[in-house]
Amino acid sequence: MKKAIIIGAGIGGLASSIRLKSKGYHVSVFEANSYPGGKLTEISGNGFRFDAGPSLFTMPEKVEEVLSVINGVDVDFEYDQLDEVCRYFYEDGTVVKGWGDANKFAQEVEEKLQVSAKDVMKHLSKSAFIYETTAELFLEKSLHKLSTYFSLSTFRSFVKLPFLNINSSMDKVNTKALKHPKLVQLFNRYATYNGSNPYVAPGILNIIPHLEFGKGAYFPKNGMHAITQSLFHYAKKAGVEFHFDAKIEKLETLSGEVTSARYMGKDIKADVFVSNMDVVPFYKNLLPNSKLPQKILNQERSSSALIFYWGIRKEFESLILHNILFSENYKEEFEYIFNKKSVYHDPTVYINISSKHNKKDAPKGCENWFVMINVPADSGQQWDDLITTCKRNILSKIHRILKVDISSFIEYENILHPQLIQNKTSSYKGALYGSSSNKKMAAFFRHPNFSNQYSNLFFCGGSVHPGGGIPLALSSAKIVSELVD
């Protein structure tokens, strides 16, 4: 039986382990942490449970596909579709409900912002067009194999590229189509789904709204961490071998192949090696003597996050699972993140409250608040000072918009910041999505899912093609399994 070693038990690594097991490999996963999931994990305290990382669930079929590749192995994974995906709050008191039903959302916008429902639906139709044109090429195939470009579907995609707004920024496209600054801001927000700046990122990223309005948003019945648990239990039932607190020290190579992985001073041989690590620390730590892909490693990092996990001794009827409290000057907020490498004094605040759907996540009469703002990747900022300032600004913004001082209701607090993200997940500089997508050809310049130097070395996860986020990490695992063939 051929052997495969997977480095990292993030979502991409878990999915890769299952897919390679289905192909008959003996699969061993080595994870530096004591738990699986990478960023998609959980924390708890004082009776509160929080999904620690990704909080929005789209494209559940990607998870279901992985959980069905091996016959005779069953793991329960249940989820519900969200009726209202997100609730948007503005400083002047305007509240827009982001209904999952596109027509209902368009009517909501027409009522609240006086933008015609017809214009909203036209914009969403363009988002669907971008998805249908590019999904197979950008999400399902390696962009770095010549064979990809000799298929009919690829030809069709390239013919339509001039119509996909690749030469205009998201903001310019949204401003021209929607005009109302509040609605433009709402659609610009989708750039943050891959850690980018809507004022420079290409308009082709307007593919993202279709994932919510066209394909729907969901909530796993036991929280986002249930995705990790389901994949992990499925992999174990299938016979994947896991090693935790097991940091791979180095890869040994010979004649264009990786021959073994060094763990605790011993060299473990395998036929195939898959890295689920961020590519920057992977090369620097595991292949320090190899030729480094410097252009890729030096790309601009995506944004990071500052997250406060607050156990709140109160319930708020005005909030739902996903909530956005918008900055009054969105452009300046991104100027601070990407150019000034700091945090704007009036940041956009995201509040996720999973106890709205899973009552077990908080004590009775309480709520578990996952409160996040976008911040720059770590470049030596004084995070202790920034965290203190940001907390004060976040509490002030919540007070202005919700008309309540929540500071007296916080009975539990935990904090995650870029340096901790890097320490816990090996994400270089704490960037959530590897490199940003702020350039129009960014999708083509992400690290490929295979090595150009070593024929049996492959890459999955958020720092490589096709990108960050749960669906894309799962797609990377599928691409890897096909490349291994």
Contact 18, 235 (CB under 8 A): yes
d(CA 65, CA 60): 9
Contact 472, 7 (CB under 8 A): no
Domain map of the chain by residue range?
102-213
Burial of 208 (0-12, 13-18, 19+ CB in 10 A): buried
Alpha helices (H) along 179-224: 181-188, 209-213
Alpha helices (H) along 83-164: 102-113, 117-140, 152-160
In order of 84, 87, 130, 317, the CA distances from 321 in angstroms are: 9, 9, 28, 11
Contact 37, 225 (CB under 8 A): yes
Q: ω into residue 466 within 30 of 0, thus cis?
A: yes
> Do the strands 322-325 and 410-416 form a parallel or antiparallel pair, or are they unpaired?
unpaired
d(CA 40, CA 447): 22
Q: Which positions ≥6 away from 7 have C-beta within 8 Å? A: 13, 30, 248, 261, 273, 274, 275, 276, 277, 282, 286
Count Cβ neighbours within 10 Å for each residue of 216-250 and write b for 16 or more, e otherwise.
bbbbbebbbbbbbbbbbbbbbebebebbeebebee
d(CA 328, CA 351): 17
Query: What is this structure's pTM?
Result: 0.94
Contact 352, 33 (CB under 8 A): no
End-to-end CA distance of the chain: 15
CA dihedral 425, 430, 434, 439 (to 10 degrees): 170
E strand or H helix at 76: none
Per-residue DSSP letters for 290-328? SPP-HHHHTSPBPPEEEEEEEEESS--TT--SEEEE--S
Query: At residue 36, what is the residue type?
Result: P
Predicted confidence at residue 137, as pLDDT, reads 67
Mean pLDDT, consecutive 10-residue stretches, the chain (485 aa), reads 97 98 98 97 97 96 97 95 98 97 98 98 95 78 61 60 80 96 98 96 94 96 97 98 98 96 96 97 92 84 97 98 98 98 98 98 98 97 97 98 97 98 96 90 80 96 93 96 93
> SS3 for 281?
helix
